[in-house]
Structures are given as C-alpha cells and as structure tokens.
Amino acid sequence: MKDKIFNIIKENTMLIVLVLVVLFFNITTKGVMLQPSQFNALITQNAYVYVLATGMLMCMLTGGNIDLSCGSFVCLVGIIGAKVMVNMGAPTIVGILVMLLVGVIYGCILGYVIAYINIPPWIATLAGFLALRGWGVALLKGSSNISPLPPEFCSLFSGKMNDLFGGPRIGGVQYNMTSIVVALIASIIVVVLIFRERSVKLKKGYDADSMVAVIVKSVLICFVIMLFGYKFSLAGGIPYSLVWVAVIVIIYSFITSKTDIGRYFYTIGGNAEATRLSGIDTKRIMFIAYLNMAILTVVSTFLTMSRFQAANSTAGTNYEMDAISACVVGGVSAYGGSGTVFGMIVGATLIGVINLGMSLMGIDANWQKVVKGVVLLGAVVFEILNNKKKGVK
Amino acid sequence: MGKTLLEMKNITKEFPGVKALDNVNLVVEEGEIHALVGENGAGKSTLMNVLSGIYPYGSYTGDIIYDGEVCQFQKIKDSEEKGIVIIHQELALIPYMSIGENMFLGNEQGSKAAIDWNKTFNLADKYLKMVGLSESSRTLIKDIGVGKQQMVEIAKALAKNARLLILDEPTSSLNESDSKALLDLLLKFKQEGMTSIIISHKLNEVSYVADKITVIRDGSTIETLDKTKDDISEDRIIKGMVGREMTDRFPKRHDVKIGDVAMEVKNWTVYHPQFTERKVVDDVSINVRKGEVVGIAGLMGAGRTELAMSIFGKAYGSNITGQLILDGKEVKLKNIKDAIKHRIAYVTEDRKGNGLVLTNPIKINTTLSNLSELCTKRVIDQDKEYQVAEDYRDKLKTKCPTVEQNVGNLSGGNQQKVLLAKWMFANPDVLILDEPTRGIDVGAKYEIYCIINDLVAAGKSVIMISSELPEVLGMSDRIYVMNEGKIVGEMAGAEASQESIMSCILKS
C-alpha cells in the first residue's frame, strides 16, 4: 500500500507540483489566481503553446529532434494569411485554406530535407528560423502589422461560445449555462470511458485498478472539468481556443497511445535501426513528424493572430522555445522515445501558471525569465535522476 | 609456486534487492593467467568492477589484498596507480582519433601546459610493437580492424604500466585468427612475468591459455581448477558452471523431415553502400530447404551479415544483382516490409544496436515487426498484444516479471529470446539468424538451440550465421563456408569438422 502511494506520487510528480504551484500563487495573490478571468487568461494566452507543443512532442519522440523554425513560421504564415484576407479581401475560408496550404508546402520541404537528405533537424529548422521571419517581415514592406483581421476569423478561433440556454443572472453575475452543460457532458463521457476500460480489462482477466482508485480518479478529473466549466460560465463562456486545443490534444493522445503509427514514433526514438529492420519506413515517419509540425504550426497561428486581431512582425517570437519547454517540463525525453500528450499538457500548464502567477504578483519580466529557466533545468534534472533510479536493478 | 599477487577475500556486494556477490574468494599468483568463468549474470564482471574501484571501497564488504597490502580503492585511478588495468568488453576507443591519441587518453604525455605529441607518438609506437602491431600510431582507429583495435586496447593498458591485466571477454567480437593472436600475446606476456585475469565464455580459449580457472555461479565461487592438477576440459568446466553435467551441448533433432527448397539465391552480388565500387558479396548461390538448418561459417568480415541483410529486402548494400527464388518462384523484394510479407525474417547479430528497442517494454518489442496483425484500422488491440507477448514468454521461457518490463533490464539470453519472439510473431518461413547466441551463457544457448529445433520441426527453414565453429557444426544439417564475399565450400553437417572448414577458408 505504501509502495503504491509512493509510486502514484512518483508517476504524477509534475501534476502534484502544478497543484502546489497553483495553491502557492493563490495565496500570494490573495485569491486572484483562481478568479474566473484568470482561468480564461490561462487558456487563451497559452492555447498556442498546447498546439505547438503537440507537434513538437511528435518530433521529439523520434529522437529528441526539435523544430526551431515554428516561431518564425507563425510570423510568416500569419502575414501571408492577413495579406490574403485583409489586403486582397478574400473570404476567411480562403485565407484559412491558403495558410494551411503554405503549411503543407513548408512541411513537405522540411520533412523531405530532414528525412530523405538526412540534414540534422536542428540545422534544417535553424535555416527556417532565420529565413522565414525575414521573409514575412519583408512582405510587410515597412509597416509593422496588418490589421484588423476579419471579425469572423477572430471569433472562430478566439471568440467565446454563445449561451444557448440563456443562463440566469444571479446577484448581478451572469452565468453562462452552456459552459456548465458542456462541462457536465464532458465529465460524463470521461467517467463512462474510465469505467468501460476497467470493465473490459476485468472481463478479459487482466490486472485493473481497484474500484477505489478508479472512483478517486474519476472524481478528481470531474472536479477539474467542472471547476473549469463553472469558472468559464462566470467569465462569459468557453473560449473557442479551448475547443481547438481540446480537439487536437484528444486526437494526438489517441494517435500516440492507440495506433500503430503512433507506436512507431516511440520505437524510432528508442532505436531507429531496429525499427527500420522491423520493416517500418522510418524515413516516412520522420517526414510525417515534420509535415505534421508545420500543419499544427499553422493552427497555432490561427489562435495567435485571432487573439491579437492582427498579423505582425514580432508574432511567434520564442514560440519554439515555449513549445520545447512545455514538452521537457512535461517529461518528454530530450533523447526521444518517451513522453505523453498528457505530460506535455501538464508541462505547458505549469509554465502557463507560473507566467500568470508571477505577472499577477507583479514580478519583473526579467526575473520571470530566470524562474522559467530554473524550472526547465530542474524538470530535466529531475527526470534524469528519476530514470537513473529506475535503471538500478 | 609463485607468490600471491592478489587475494580477494570474502567479497560480498549487494545491489538493492540482489546479492550480486556472496563471499567470493579469488587468489591470483604472480605470473599466471587466471580465467574467470561462469554464466552471464554469475557476477564475474561485478567482481572485477569491485577490484578496479568502479564500485568504491565501502560499497562492498571483504578485503582486497594486492601485493601484500590491503587496498581500499575509491576510484579507477587508484587501482590503475597500483598497476591493475581493466579492459572492458566493449571497446572504448574513439574512432576518429589516432591510435596514439587514444592510447594516452587520460594519461597524456608532456608538461602540464601542453601535450608533447612527439613523445606521445614515439611511446605509442613502442607499445604497439610490444603487442605485435606494425601500424603507425598516427593511424586513425576507424581505419584498423576490430582485432587490431583490441590489440590497441592492450597496448593502452601496457602504457599504464600494468602489472595485473584484466580482460573482460576480449575475444567476443574477434574472429578465430585474431583471437588466437591475442591469446598468444597473453602467453608471451606471461613469459615476461605479467599476470592476467581473463573473463571468457569461450571455453576452448580458456583451456588454451589459463593456468587456473575459477568458476563462479550465482555470485559465489564454486571451485578453482589448476591446470597442473585438475582436468580442465571443456566438459569439466561446464559442469562447474551449470552445476550439472552437460552431456550434450546441442539438443538432438528427432524426425525432422527435410523438404523442398524454400529459398534459393542465385548469383547474388552486392556492392558496398558507400564505396560503391567495392564488392561485398560476390556471386553467391545458396539454398535452404524446409525443415533444414543451414549454417554459414566464416571469419568476421566475410560478408555473411551483408549477404543476409541484402537478401532481407535490400536492408544493406547497393547495386544488388541476382535471383531470389522463394518456393520455386522468383521474387523481387523492394524493401524490408516486402521481405517480411514474403515471410523472410532476419534476426540481427547486434540485439542491442539494431535488434531491440531497449527503452521499450517486452510486449512492444515482441509485436513491432508485425504490428499490423494486431490492428484494425491502424488502432492497436492492446489486450491482444499483451496476450501475444505472454504467449511467447511462456513458449520461449523468457525470464521476466511481466511483459511490461523494459527489454534493457533483461539479461542477454532473455533479450535474445525476446528478439526471437519478435521474429517468430512475424510468422516467417525462412529465418536468418545472425550470431544467435553471441554473448549469452551456456544454459541460455542450449535453450536457443531448442527453439531453433522447434522451428525446423514446424517446417520452417533456418539459416544460421555463426562465428563459433562448434555451434555451426553442432546445429547445421548443411554448412556453407564463406570468405571474402564468396562461398568457398559447402558440406554436409555430419561430415564437416573444424579443420575442414578452416582449410576451406585458408585455401580460398
């Protein structure tokens, strides 16, 4: 029993750290941290990180490979999209398709260079890092941004879900019923899935978590979902950016844990040659990793530019670092072969919470960077030491 | 009798949960070659790591008495100062540095401010001569063969003024002639008064060089055999190692019917992937029948692995020409996936390097080459996967707590079983096994041989590439001898002998 609890703590260290950090900031900010507007800020400000880090996770799994160019690509794609939608007056859907097309083209080039010409990823993407932002800014021809973007584009990615049920207004506070209903539905789905998995396992005679563990897990997850639902109902509704993030995260979580192609990302990171000799086209997987990264970068661009309602020359600065940090803090191995979408979410959230909390406390921006650097290093050191202990026979 | 140089008394070393060494005693006299034998995981390497200070004083109990005084080594440097130098199983040389640079790595010659390269290379040349190498010490390591690299390791040890040389599996990656040269060098050093401890699985080599043999089993010393007094035949040593008499090291195959030709290769020629003008496999024609074990003997670098990999969906080489005939029909294999689809499996010689994903669990490794069988619309049925892994664990008697365990934590023999399971799950008709028993102990070898017998009994064809002649002779129905990319001999297993195979190689 004692061992079991110890193991649970060990496997969920970052999650526990996250909870502690939230509580810490809640105390130091005298409750501001847990106000509805902060929940909203946490999601909208960090939506791009979740999406980019998902792509980065797939790259890192293949052997610690990274994409340094994604931040610059956010800038370039944004400017191209803005030119199409604002300067040329094309409909929003055309703008979105053009941007995705640019993403596919860049992804194919990057994937080809890395997978089939064998250029080390950090060099290939360093070239992109330098070139793409330069190109984007050059397209601006001296102005610093293109704005405003079409309102329908902005509301599609950064708007809030309307209240379909006309929620009550109690004590001068408007409740958004839709958020609560969505959260309830999500909770029910999660609980059903958890219990179904357990019963399937038991039916086939495999080890399954005890009933108590399953109930505790369900209650905790539902609590978090309902907490978000409640806070969003007070903050004017669920932001659409959260919907996009949730969809992407769920899809990739499924791919990495349940599909054969997801499995290959891990085995390539673990031993590329063994994977090749098992009849798997490792080059194709590398190609897919970078094509996928470019497409997710475009999605991330949608979220970013709609939030600022403009495409500007500094958009995407350091985004590649944010994505890498989120993965690494979330326990994704810097050498490849291990890491999960869930871990990445925890890592990204932890960094987001630290950012938000320090801003609320009024800590100088430069010191914030220092803290983030220390957290990043600490997380990696912790991961390596933890693995070392596991390695002892 | 000479004087005692080293005495290890009641050495006990514990790892969390495991007693790796239990009251081990070892006495080595000056000027002798002392062999340490035992199954994998018996504790030989642990004992040597205690001796050389890799496990510092205090992490074990017991005494090390070296040259009359009790030693408490804290780190490797401490033991090296006393002249105890260990040469590890895996070569620790840096390929893109010269021999001389490698030899004095960590032992640089010259003043504090700068390395004296002339002195370095002169000294290096001197030591190279002592080990019988004529290469200049300015040659890069990558340009000399594995056999010579092992000699450089020894020269490096000499440069540290070794009095007691410890060699951990020095010949595991060497061919017969290089191994012989190395062992003869040890005998020559013995004449000059050097003391050596050699750890080896190759019992014929142990019988050849050793004056005394200490057998370790399950972390304890079982016995010490003296060449002058005791019987040190291979059978006698094996008896000590496994604790029972091994009447037959190769299990008999009963009533296996040899059928039609399952796979045939005709006029197979392969060129090197980088140096495309170099022929690696030259006009090779071989075949294997259903229910047959065909051995391919030859020296290291004879092109056997290259032949196998080029057949296996062009996994190696460029400009591959020749015919591949499966069940009487000529096929062209585009890639590895294609080869697996045509029911060929290649079980690599280097299980850690390109065979297994060490950081992944047993079950993931087991299913990797045939994952699509467990998938519906790309989604893996993970329950079925677990079941498959469990089945193979039972069938091959893999020792592991669960199939969720990472392969990296298994012993060599069990890793080899996982590797075999992986390819058996791909359901091949022809299995090419490349060095299937390298670096695993006698007991595990026997089990691998049994698996091979089960495979052919089920009508599969097995091609076994091996550098250990007794194994090729003991297991094969038919033997091809390969040298410098060509087939230089073919003989029935029953008629072949070590001599006939070696003479095929030498006469070619």
Q: Which residues of B touch A276 (CB under 8 A)?
A: 315, 336, 354
Chain A partners of B339 at a C-beta cutoff of 8 Å? 279
Residues from chain A that touch B40, judged by Cβ atoms under 8 A, are: none
Mutation target for B interface from A271, A282, A288, A383: give the one with most B CBs within 10 A: A271
Coil, helix or strand for B271? Answer: strand
Residue-wise pLDDT for A56-66, tens only, equals: 999 999 998 99
C-beta atoms of A200 and B378 within 8 A: no
* Residues pairing with B325 in the sheet: B264, B330
* Residue from B342, B350, B351, B371 whose CB has the most chain A CBs within 10 Å, to mutate: B371
Residues in Cβ contact with B39 at an 8 Å cutoff, skipping those fewer than 6 apart: B217, B241, B242, B441, B442, B443, B444
> Is B497 at the interface with chain A, CB within 8 A?
no
A261–B16 C-beta distance less than 8 A: no
Q: Which residues of A touch B382 (CB under 8 A)?
A: 258
Tell me what pLDDT residue A392 has. Answer: 38
* Interface contact flag, B336 A337, Cβ < 8 Å: no
Q: Tell me how far apart the alpha carbons of residues A49 and A323 are, in angstroms, rounded to a whole number.
A: 6
Distance (Å) of CA A182 to CA A156, A189, A232, B457: 18, 11, 11, 61
Could you give the CA distance from residue B169 to residue A76 in angstroms, rounded to a whole number? 58
- Which residue of A lies nearest to B312 if distances are taken between CA atoms? A277
Query: Do residue B357 and residue A281 have CB atoms under 8 angstroms apart?
Result: no
Q: Report whether B194 contacts B165 (CB < 8 A).
A: yes
Determine whether the interchain pair B357/A392 forms a contact, defined as Cβ–Cβ distance below 8 Å. Answer: no
A vs B, Cβ pairs < 8 A, gives: 90
Chain B residues whose CB is inside 8 A of the A281 CB are 335, 337
**Does B107 lie at the interface with A, CB-CB under 8 angstroms?**
no
CA angle B230, B499, B228 (to 5 degrees): 15
What is the maximum span of chain B, computed from C-alpha positions, in angstroms? 74
Query: Residue B264: beta bridge partners?
Result: B287, B325
Minimal Cα distance from B354: which residue of A? Answer: A274
Distance from CA of B109 to the nearest CA of A (A): 35
Radius of gyration of chain B (CA): 24
- Please tell me the distance from the alpha carbon of residue B270 to that of residue B315, in angstroms, as a whole number: 11
Tell me phi and psi for residue B141, to 5 degrees: -55, -40
d(CA B102, CA B96): 10
A43: amino acid identity, one letter: I
Under an 8 A CB cutoff, do B378 and A260 touch?
A: yes
User: A387 — contact with chain B (CB < 8 Å)?
Assistant: no
Inter-chain touch B355–A274, beta carbons under 8 Å = yes
To the nearest 10 degrees (0 to 180), the angle between helices A70-82 and A121-139 is 30
Residues 6+ apart with CB under 8 A from A193: none
**Nearest residue on chain B to A390, judged by CA atoms?**
B409
- Which B positions 13-32 lie with beta carbon below 8 A of chain A? 15-18
Peptide bond into A239 cis (omega under 30): no
Which residues lie across from B133 on neighbouring strands? none
Contact A97, A346 (CB under 8 A): no
| Any A CB within 8 A of B355 CB | yes
Residue B41's pLDDT is 65
Is A337 near chain B, with CB under 8 Å? yes
DSSP B140-166: BGGGS-HHHHHHHHHHHHHHTT-SEEE
pLDDT tens digit string along A185-215? 999 999 999 999 888 888 877 777 788 888 9
List the pLDDT tens digit at each of the 508 positions of chain B: 578 899 999 999 887 656 788 889 999 999 999 999 887 667 888 888 899 888 888 888 999 999 888 888 888 888 888 889 998 877 778 888 899 988 888 878 888 778 888 888 999 999 999 888 888 889 898 888 878 888 898 899 888 888 999 998 888 777 778 888 889 999 999 998 899 999 987 888 888 899 999 988 878 888 888 888 888 787 788 778 777 655 678 888 887 889 999 999 999 999 988 888 888 999 999 999 999 999 999 877 789 999 999 999 999 988 999 999 999 999 999 999 999 999 999 999 888 889 999 989 999 999 999 999 999 989 999 889 999 999 999 999 888 888 988 898 888 889 999 999 999 999 999 999 999 988 787 788 889 999 999 999 999 999 999 988 888 999 999 999 998 899 999 999 888 888 888 888 877 6
User: Rounded distance, CA B215 to CA B197, Å?
Assistant: 13
B312 closest CA partner among B483, B433, B476:
B433
| Cβ contact, residue pair A278, B368, below 8 Å | yes
Subunit contact A271:B358, Cβ cutoff 8 A: yes
Helix, strand or coil, per DSSP, at residue B41: coil
What's the whole-number mean pLDDT along residues A345-349?
Answer: 95
Chain A CB contacts of B368 below 8 Å: 263, 267, 274-275, 278, 280
Q: Of the candidates A206, A260, A277, which has its C-beta nearest B336's C-beta? A: A277
- Whether A339 and chain B come into contact, CB under 8 Å, resolves to no
Q: Which 187-206 residues of chain A touch chain B by CB within 8 A?
A: 200-201, 204, 206
CA–CA separation, B317 and B269 (whole Å): 10
Contacts B358 to A, Cβ<8 Å: 270-271
| DSSP string covering A90-147 | --HHHHHHHHHHHHHHHHHHHHHHHHTS---HHHHHHHHHHHHHHHHHHHTTT-SEE-
A207 touches chain B (CB under 8 A): no
d(CA B463, CA B466): 10
Residue B281: what are its φ and ψ, rounded to 5°? -125, 130
Burial B7-32 (b: 16+ CB within 10 A, else e): bbeebbbeeeeeebbeebebbbbbbb
How far is residue B268's CA from residue B306's CA, in Å, rounded to a whole number? 11
C-alpha–C-alpha distance, residues A30 and A185, integer Å: 32
Strand ranges inside B16-155, DSSP E: 18-29, 33-37, 60-66, 69-71, 84-87
- Note whether B369 contacts A261, CB cutoff 8 Å: no
The token pair at B162 is 């070794």
Q: What is the pTM of this model?
A: 0.81
Check A276 against B315: CB less than 8 A apart. Answer: yes
Q: Is the CB of residue A275 less than 8 Å away from at least one CB of chain B? A: yes
